[in-house]
Structure 1
Amino acid sequence: MASVAELTYYPVKGCAGTSVREAPLTPAGLAHDRSFMVVGEEGVGRTQRRDPRLASIRPTVSADGGRLTLHAPEFETLELRVDTAADWFTEVLGVPSRLVRVPPEHDRVTDGRTPGTSAYADSCALHVLSRATLDLLNRKLAERGLPPLPMNRFRPNIVVDGWDEPHTEDRAHRIRVGDTELGYAKLAIRCAVTMVEQDTGAKAGPEPLRTLAGYRRAAEGGVAYGTKYAVLRTGTLSVGDDVHVTSWGDSEL
């Protein structure tokens, strides 16, 4: 039986995640997931594509979302109300920055086969990846004499263990986990963020994109790795919850 092996939410888009044993699942994904974003002077969101040092920032958010604590190597930890972070992010990233937050009344509609909503996530509410999928990539990297990559390089919200076949998440079109239900939206098309070492914020490369391009090219371009889901029924997710696939479909790769 497949089960939830890891749960991670990312309070600030692009920054490090917070791993938990249990989390409320809202219509927009795990509670507090990507509810904050760092923006530049023109209001454009910062991501690891241009600011890989975001990965080294480790935010934690209070249960009510009212207080944010920010950690970064070699910088003083900052604990604050959520509207006073601009100077800290500017100093850590070395470019003028400020912090914005998704308003509670937001009505963003996400795309894909199953529409839904999300906060500042690139597209859908949840990113799901299985250990079998990562194991396959690491075997292919080993064949090329390259070291394995950790799961956090791909920044999933839910890691599933127990699926024997790699990329089973591509074909699991409706999933029941605990008292929640997820609907398949689309494959996750990967970008240069996968080349950033998540523990240090250092940009590596060209892996894993070079190896993925050899077996995971998507029809619309780029490489697909992992799957995006919309939330069909809210509830609570816990590490160890059984993962039941209630509807299967063909892979879109």
Structure 2
Amino acid sequence: MAEVVELVTYPVKGCAAVPLREAALEPAGIADDRGFLVTTSQGVGRTQRRDPGLALVRPEVTRVPAGERLTLRAPGTEALHVEVDLSGPRREVDMLGRPLRGIDQGDEAAAWLSDVLGSASRLVRVPPENGRVTDGLTPGTSRYADSCAVHLLSRATLDHLNKRLADRGAEPLPMSRFRPNIVIDDWDAEPHAEDRARRLRIGGAELGYAKLAIRCAVTLVEQDSAARRGPEPLRTLATYRRAAEGGVAFGTKCAVLRPGTLAVGDPVEVTDWGASEL
């Protein structure tokens, strides 16, 4: 049976990954996932598409008596500790063209991020009343993720891509280039089996397929160095994973049908299979 081999959260959109052994899956995704967003001074969300340096910012969310604390670390600078404000004024933010709302986390966080990224920045936290609705075959909600709550990818899918890269004389790529939340192994080593999984039970939770994950320039960024490399994997994916709506697909996006607890090693049961959209 297929099983979970990696669980990953990204507390600040675009910043470094936080690997987990166990996680609470909430209606908007893994707890804390994409709960914070770095914006320009005008409120436009920053991502690695234009700000690859975000990859070097390492976030950590901890629970404290007063609520939440966010710690940010980056090479060559002192760590920043933010007592998270959940009740401040809401402000409008633009996240990839979508109008959303956020709670500004203050001037100290803004100054720290501005210094690290070399450009005027602010930090916002998704409001507790976040009511964002996501699209796809299974609607749901999420915080500041590009679209749906959970990005799912299998090892077999990456192995297949890396074989194609090798055939073209290119270097293999690590899973981190694709920033998934849940990595699954087995499915009889069938690449892109996740494309056909319509309902999945994992641990005490259940997921519903929403849509294919359309890849962008973030896949060109080395996550451990923030260096932008190209043209792979987009060049090779374009030879066999072109999506009807444009772009190339790799992995899937899912909505949360039933919250619960997930852990590395949990079996993955697919209760409904469908046909691939490619």
The match for 2:220 is 195
The match for 1:155 is 179
Paired residue type of 2:36: F
The match for 1:99 is 123
| Aligned ranges 1:61-72 → 2 under 5 Å | 61-63=61-63, 66-72=68-74
Give me the TM-score of the superposition, normalised by structure 1: 0.98
1:27 partnered with 2:51: no
CA shift, 1:19, in A, is 0.4
The match for 1:210 is 235
Picking from 99, 120, 125, the partner of 2:149 is 125
Distance 2:193 2:238 in 1: 19
The match for 1:58 is 58
Which whole-Å deviations, capped at 9, do the CAs of 1:186-209 have from their partners, x for residues lacking one?
A: 000000000000111111111100
The match for 2:258 is 233
The match for 2:90 is none
Paired residue type of 2:205: T
The match for 1:43 is 43
Paired residue type of 2:277: E
Distance 1:153 1:63 in 2: 29
Which whole-Å deviations, capped at 9, do the CAs of 1:224-245 have from their partners, x for residues lacking one?
A: 0010000000010000000000
Give the secondary structure class of the aligned counterpart of 1:141: helix
Paired residue type of 1:68: L
Give me the TM-score of the superposition, normalised by structure 2: 0.89
Give the secondary structure class of the aligned counterpart of 2:73: strand
1:3 partnered with 2:28: no
| Aligned ranges 1:237-252 → 2 under 5 Å | 237-252=262-277
Give the secondary structure class of the aligned counterpart of 1:152: helix
Which whole-Å deviations, capped at 9, do the CAs of 1:64-92 have from their partners, x for residues lacking one?
A: 66111111122222222232411110000
* Root mean square deviation of aligned Cα: 0.9
Distance 1:99 1:46 in 2: 10
Distance 1:202 1:126 in 2: 26
Paired residue type of 1:46: R
| Aligned ranges 1:103-182 → 2 under 5 Å | 103-163=127-187, 164-182=189-207
Pick which of 143-152 and 121-130 moved more: 143-152
1:186 partnered with 2:211: yes
Give the secondary structure class of the aligned counterpart of 2:153: strand
Give the secondary structure class of the aligned counterpart of 1:199: coil
Give the secondary structure class of the aligned counterpart of 1:75: coil
Which whole-Å deviations, capped at 9, do the CAs of 1:92-151 have from their partners, x for residues lacking one?
A: 000000100100111110000000000000100000000000000100111111111000
Distance 1:105 1:219 in 2: 35
* Residues matched between the structures, number: 253
CA shift, 1:179, in A, is 1.1
Pick which of 238-247 and 76-85 moved more: 76-85
The match for 1:87 is 111
Percent of pairs with identical residues: 70
Runs (5+) with no aligned partner, structure 2? 85-104
Picking from 219, 234, 238, the partner of 2:244 is 219
CA shift, 1:63, in A, is 3.5
Paired residue type of 2:43: G
Distance 1:37 1:115 in 2: 22
Distance 2:22 2:274 in 1: 29
Give the secondary structure class of the aligned counterpart of 2:250: strand
Which whole-Å deviations, capped at 9, do the CAs of 1:149-187 have from their partners, x for residues lacking one?
A: 000000000000112100000000000001110000000
